[in-house]
Amino acid sequence: MNKKLIAAAILALSGAAQADVTVFTDNFDSNGLGLNATPSGWSVSSGTVDIIGNSGFFDFIPGSGRYIDLDGSTSNAGVLSRDFLMTAGTHYTVSFDLAGNHRNGAAESVAVNFGGASANYSLSQNAGWTTFSLVFTPSVTKSYTLSFENSGGDNIGMLLDNVSVHAVPEPETYAMMLAGLGLMGAIARRRRMA
């Protein structure tokens, strides 16, 4: 009977080792529409971004709800950012949707930084929503920044939506838990035999 319980615990923990935890998600739909606006929970520095979409307010991709134009209406693209407390040794993945500006023929480019990971993304003017992701595993537990910075300053930027951050603990964490369970089982069995 105890062997079955231990085997069930091991199976449950091995499945949990692959499970991820949602740390954060934002589709910007809960924000009010506005030019040169800051989405709730985010910061904008060095310029501006716009919250657009949703049935007619500069809705370049109808049916997408609200989303962010990463080059606000001041001819100075802002840096949209948010901080997250991250645990050392945990793998974090940020995923997000980007689309072209849907207004002029110029390709846009966005620099994305996530903790110590960074990448540049470029899409043509008519590109629809495309999902991208970055992975970061901190070596120190502390606050790290996720940021999006559109290159340019012509009031026409790439579009951003559906930002989410997920955490997946390293398998070593679960291996230590399994080892502890095994040790407890061995001690219990010895006590019964004695």
144 close to 114: Cβ distance less than 8 angstroms? yes
> 3-state class of 173 per DSSP?
helix
Q: At what angle do helices 2-16 and 171-193 cross, to 10 degrees?
A: 170
Task: Give the residues across from 150 on adjacent strands.
Answer: 110
As a dihedral over the C-alpha atoms of residue 31, residue 46, residue 151, residue 27, rounded to 10 degrees, the angle is -20
pLDDT in tens, the chain (194 residues): 555 545 555 544 444 455 789 999 999 999 999 999 999 999 999 999 999 998 779 999 999 999 999 999 998 999 999 999 999 999 999 999 999 999 877 778 999 999 999 999 999 999 999 999 999 999 999 999 999 999 977 889 999 999 999 998 866 555 555 556 665 666 766 667 66
Per the document, the length of the chain is: 194
- Residues 106, 100: Cα–Cα separation, whole Å: 9
